[in-house]
Amino acid sequence: MKKIGIGIVAASAVLMVSQPASALFSNGGFEDGTTNGWTITYGSVSSNPTSSPDWTTTRSGQPAPVVIDNMYSGPGETIDVNPYTGSKMVKINDIDGNYHATKLSQSDTIAAGDLTETLYVNWGAMLVDPGHGVADQPYFSINVLQNGSSIGSFSANATDAATPGTDWALAGNDLWYKTGQYQYDLSTFSIGDLIDIEMFVADCGYGGHGGYAFLDGIGTAYVEPPGGGNEVPEPATMLLFGTGLAGLVASRRKRKAA
């Protein structure tokens, strides 16, 4: 019985590591149903380009982030949206407009083990295309900062989304949707550095059209990208997976010999 227990422990370790997790940043999968650990900042684009919201000024009716599950159904959406990782993810901003901008951010300190890791962010953006000039289109951004300075980013606006030949999908009346996985190699950091992850969405600059985003799987633990993909788990995960299998095989051989 003792030998069987060792095999069970090894199998449990494999399952634990194989499950989606979000190291480095806390609550990166929003699986507790809240935005605990994250800083929420509201801003306005009434007098700024949508790519650079004014984070010192807010407007009425600022939409609070909402943690969603597979029962989610958004107004005007014709595409079924479900959590990308686990059973929950967060939605920031909304479709209504009114010059809103919503940012989700978190800071952490880089440890030695983080230097060989990759930061993952699973994202999906819904942007209404009202046909404005680029500076006034709904906008989505992911930004990585090292000690307060931006070192990596991804962004898109509704003009990008509605351009023929891109891989954005029409998800409603002038509403465009795309998912992706943002990755950043942390080897450029040093032990003790401060890392920030910032993600925001802004409405159009004329106040009549919105944009919003879904965020999930934020951290250094490998997560499958939205819609699947052919990326492989991090080496540490595969090593423990192999160790677990070896433990199970050894246990079975010993039981047969007995």
Domains of the chain: which residue ranges?
1-19+232-258, 21-223
From 83-92, 214-223, 240-249, the region with the lowest mean pLDDT: 240-249
pLDDT one-digit tens code per residue, 193-207: 999 999 999 999 999
- What's the pLDDT band for 229 if we cut at 50, 70, 90? low
Which regions of 204-256 does DSSP assign to beta strands (E)? 211-219
Indicate whether 158 pLDDT > 70: yes
Query: How many Cβ atoms are within 10 Å of 119's Cβ, its own excluded?
Result: 22
Of 195, 236, 245, the closest CA to residue 218 belongs to 195
State the pLDDT at residue 23.
Answer: 78
* CA distance linking residue 250 with residue 258, whole number of Å: 12
State the pLDDT at residue 41.
Answer: 98
Q: Which pTM was predicted?
A: 0.81
* CA distance linking residue 78 with residue 122, whole number of Å: 21
State the pLDDT at residue 227.
Answer: 81
Indicate whether 9 pLDDT > 80: no
Enclosing H/E stretch for 257: helix 235-257
Beginning with the edge strand found earlier in the chain, give each strand of the sheet holding 39-44 in spatial order: 39-44, 100-109, 194-202, 139-146, 149-157
Indicate whether 252 pLDDT > 50: no
Higher pLDDT, 194 or 228: 194
Higher pLDDT, 79 or 13: 79
Chain mean pLDDT for the chain: 85
The fold adopted by the segment(s) 21-223 is Jelly Rolls (2.60.120)
| φ, ψ for residue 120, nearest 5 deg | -115, 140
Q: Given the structure tokens 């989304």, which residue do they identify?
A: 161
Of 84, 92, 100, the closest CA to residue 212 belongs to 92
